[in-house]
Amino acid sequence: RMSARGEAVDASTLAVVATATGGVAGGAAAGCLIPTSGKGVPLKRGSRVSLGRLSSCSVVVSERYVSGQHCILHCSDDGRVYVEDVSSNHTYVNGEPIPKGQRVCLKHTDKLALTRRGTGWVYQCQ
């Protein structure tokens, strides 16, 4: 598989695409988690999305070093998306571990990863 930029991607690669406004039922859109091979997961303003191995997570990632609940995306009312590491390992933004328990605002083209070499996402805002 190839991305829109011609880069090789695997089936687990997702893109987080943020929009300033939107028609998501139940509230204005803050963005969307879009898998390269299927349907997206809406990110609604004022909502939170959990990523991890647990079946109760919004996005389930079945990889060895991914915690039950690994990180949380906090979608603010103004459309910004923040990531919070709640894992027993690390969550990475642009290859660097983020501080545990602190919210880091994602910027256009930031790369979010749950493990150093595993599942990753690209944050794209419009």
Does the pTM of the predicted model rise above 0.75? Answer: no
Residue 1 lies in a domain: no
Higher-confidence residue of 34 and 43: namely 43
Residue 98: pLDDT band by 50, 70, 90 thresholds?
very high
- Can you give the residue range of the structural domain that contains 109? 14-125
Count Cβ neighbours within 10 Å for each residue of 4-21 and write b for 16 or more, e otherwise.
eeeeebeebbbbbbbbee
Residue 104: pLDDT band by 50, 70, 90 thresholds?
very high
Query: Which residues, 6+ apart, have CB-to-CB distance to 7 below 8 Å?
Result: none
Residue 4 lies in a domain: no
Residue 7 lies in a domain: no
Higher-confidence residue of 29 and 96: namely 96
116: domain CATH number? Answer: 2.60.200.20
Query: Residue 27 — left, alpha, or beta (φ > 0 → left; ψ -120 to 50 → alpha)?
Result: left
Residue 67 in contact with residue 60, Cβ under 8 Å?
no
Mean pLDDT, residues 67-91 taken together: 94
